[in-house]
Structure 1
Amino acid sequence: MGGVSEGVQHAILEETNFVQGEFPFRYLGVSLNEGRLNKEMFADLLNKMQKALHHWANYKVSYAGKISLINTVIFGLEQFWCSTLLIPKGVLKLVTKFCRNFLWGTVEGQRKLIMKSWSSCCKPHIEGGFNIKEILAWNKCILCKWIWAIETHADSSWVIWNHTYNIKQGGKVQLSLIYEQLRDHDRKISWEKTVWNRVALPKHSVLVVLAMQHKLATIDKLNYRGLHMVNRCILCKADNESHQHLFFKCQFATSIWNRLLKWMKLRGRTDSLKRELHWLAGRRRRRHWKAQWISSCLTALAYSIWEERNSRIFRDVEHNEDYIVRRVQYLVSIRLLYAYHSSYEDEILDSINS
């Protein structure tokens, strides 16, 4: 109570049987304070995020799985706060730090190879990112729901008052358009729909994006960072390991890709991952299941090559070409039938079995 003496305050409390509260207190789940917003007000939010991320960090989750968790659970936790308050930048930086460390497996006090900057991860797929929302831009964007409430005459005394005294003209607000205006933009890529399609597994798509941007921890990049490792391709043992060599100048990878092209009744044209994707981007304009068949084969092979490389280095387990070819064929066939079972099932079965 303000503007009255303590005696009047006591008289009001005795007459109404109310209890005088103190700041800070919680209202509808939001912590309110008499001063400016600070980190202490968001302690509950930060603790819930840390607890959830620490729990998931104990499991072996792919990058695609971690991105999905960040986009759903983590942003779901902060959605209510973002839609209610303009969160201080210090809190948003902590949230970004938690999510970045979780994605790349960074532990406090230990150095970890960060494959891709967080700002780049927050770009949409068409710009080479992982479609994670920029939290600062999204916080400002989602607060515009109050503008939408004003414009649509929501049943609220505050909205009615604004329409009566402040609002002169009507209009519509689309949060997606506002977010596009607020976020940072980057150059668009031509192979986005080739990598991110309904057949390819998300974890395959994430790895291909990292490979296209030369963000994987190949030996040449590790040596550049000062680790001083013997640079030799573990797959073909004929050349130094690099992104260009693994995808697809390596004899091991090239042989597998040519066999998959033959399976899809295409002529072998292996050169590099970049050229293959640009070639497939042109074919994909046909918007047919065969275009996605080829695209998903390429992404699955790239993932399998990287997985085989890691298996030989870290687990000393080696698989031959036949095993990888059969695995890619099986996985892609299952995904194709699942995606197009109602329309092209017979045609797909004839193609993959011939």
Structure 2
Amino acid sequence: MSWTVRALSFTGRLQLISTVISGLINFWTSAYILPKACLAENDSLCARFLWKGKLDGSGASKVAWITCTTPKEEGGLGLKNWVVWNTVCALKLIWLLFFKSNSILASWIITEVLDGDIGRFWVINTKQKHSWLANHLLSLRDTIFPWMKIAVGNGETTYFWTSNWSPFGNIRNYLQGEGPRHFGIPPMTTLAELWKDDNWNLPPALSKRQVNIQTFLTTISLSHARDEYSWEPNSNISNTYSARRIYDLLRVVVPPVSWHKEVWFSGGIPKHRFITWLFVLDCCPTKDRMASWGLDVNRGCVLCNCAQESRDHLFFNCPFTSDIWEFLTQRSPINTPSNWQDVLSILRSTAMTKPWRLLTLLYWQAVIYFSWSERNSRIHRSTFRQVSAIKKDINKVIRLKIAAIRLKDPSLSSAMYQAWIS
């Protein structure tokens, strides 16, 4: 890998993964069903590239990859879980079978695998003579079944046991072991075969669940119309396949975090936002964390030399960083506490005008970024800077950011500049 790529920041590597790498994988997962081992290896390579800047070696991940693939609202980086996404793309092929059957792939599967009967998709078994793709699609029937509702017409393609024609879902699962032998209805029976002389020809019900099914059947009368499928993901009828909606239904959802708007706010500086995200998760290698890993380290804070280093000490109980942070008090209309959790609470709950909110978040993240950079410089390069120099750099960065905003929103830029210099 080129040395120029290794010199990228975390944000630069994240940008490459979320655009170039993700674009390539998205193309292949949309065209083919890839083995899970292949996708797992890709995730491993992306994780090593993000955290180390190279593909060899292992370890050194600051945040678990499964967390990185959750949305930013749930504490992650918003990257895709490619195993789930590949399933989403495979489900679209099944959707094409039922709603775009004139496509080449759908026509081939219906003719060669389903023997011309689309309803057989729910009843046939996987076979060695079928292609790997066809067998994989059949293995996904349980996943897509709840969203494939069928409006009964003539009942000729609606199978009693396996089609989603009732509010009870899969009848075999609903009866809990009372299968075709107990109910007296063969496994490949269609509803049309149970309809005789404009009445349902059913065996006697032997359980309450069988009574429920027979009671619901009395509300249905077969007609000469064809059975029609409807696409209802999340109980919402739709005429299109939304990969994003299906992805959200299949992925593991975790509770939203309360701080994502403060970390990933629009207009923030990318590398500052990334470091802030790491600190909010408390995943940066501060000395207290390194000691908890069993490493023999001097736990003293290199910025103030008067306490043990931890995230909560650095931001902003440390006199060094506290001096930088209090610089905002001279300009901002809000209270600026020194406790980490109190700062997060203030940023979330305090009502501010848009210019002051942007300035406050920009300054908060800039203090975290420059303080952490100074800490690393003192440890790894033995270079020391004064608080005044760091304040000057932060002030310069914020002024440059205000100037950049002017290109998109001149009025907001002017309001921010007037607030900052007032």
Which bracket does the TM-score occupy, shorter chain normalised?
0.7 to 0.9
Which residue pairs with 1:203 in the alignment? Answer: 271
Q: Are the equivalent residues in 1 in contact too, given 2:300–2:309 (CA < 8 A)?
A: yes
Match status 1:101 vs 2:167: no
| 1:215–1:316 CA distance, 2 compared to 1 (3 A) | same
Match of 2:229 in 1: 169
CA distance in 2, matches of 1:108, 1:338: 35
Q: CA deviation at 1:95?
A: 0.6
Matches within 5 A, 1:130-279: 130-146=77-93, 149=96, 153=100, 156-159=103-106, 166=118, 168-170=228-230, 171-272=239-340, 274-279=341-346
Is the 2:70–2:78 Cα contact (8 Å) retained in structure 1? yes
Aligned-pair distance for 1:153?
A: 4.2
Indicate the structure with greater helix content.
1
Across the two proteins, how many residue pairs are aligned to each other? 299
Instruction: Find the aligned partners of 2:401 and 2:349 in 1 and give their Cα distance.
Output: 22
Q: Which amino acid aligns with 2:387?
A: E
Q: Superposed, which structure 2 residues align to 1:1-354 within 5 Å?
A: 54-55=1-2, 58-105=5-52, 110=57, 112-146=59-93, 149=96, 153=100, 156-159=103-106, 166=118, 168-170=228-230, 171-272=239-340, 274-283=341-350, 288-339=354-405, 341-354=409-422
1:101 CA displacement:
1.0
Please state whether the residue corresponding to 1:101 is helix, strand or coil: helix
Matched AA of 2:337: R
TM-score by length of 2: 0.65
Query: What is the SS of the residue equivalent to 2:241?
Result: coil
Q: Deviations over 1:183-237 (max 9, x none)?
A: 1222211111111012211221111121111111111111222220111101011
Q: Structure 1 residues 144, 288: closer, same or farther in 2, change over 3 A?
A: farther
Whole-Å separation in 2 of the counterparts to 1:345 and 1:215: 34
More displaced 10-residue stretch of structure 1: 287-296 or 83-92 = 287-296
Query: Computing the radius of gyration over CA atoms, which structure comes out larger, 1 or 2?
Result: 2
> Over aligned residues, Cα RMSD in angstroms?
2.6
Contact kept? 2:301, 2:308, Cα under 8 Å: yes
State the SS of the aligned residue for 2:329: helix
C-alpha displacement of 1:55: 3.5
Distance in 2 (CA, whole Å) between partners of 1:207 and 1:99 is: 19
Residues 77-96 of structure 1: CA deviation (Å, up to 9, x unaligned): 22221012221111111111
Amino acid in structure 1 at the alignment position of 2:410: S
Normalised to the residue count of structure 1, the TM-score between the two structures is 0.76
**One-letter code of the match for 1:166?**
I
User: Where in structure 1 are there 5+ consecutive unaligned residues?
Assistant: 1-53
CA deviation after TM superposition for structure 1 residue 109, in Å: 7.3
Go from structure 1 to structure 2 and tell me whether the alpha carbon gap of 1:178 and 1:254 turns closer, same or farther (over 3 Å shift).
Answer: same
Overall identity of the aligned pairs, in %: 27
Partner deviation per Cα, 1:243-302 (whole Å, 9 max, x = no partner): 111111111111110112322344442221x32122111236x67232121111111111
The code of the aligned residue for 1:188 comes to P
Moved over 3 A (4+): 55-58, 106-112, 143-155, 157-167, 265-268
Q: Residues of 2 paired with 1:123 and 1:57: CA distance? A: 29
Which SS does the other structure have where 2:302 is aligned?
coil
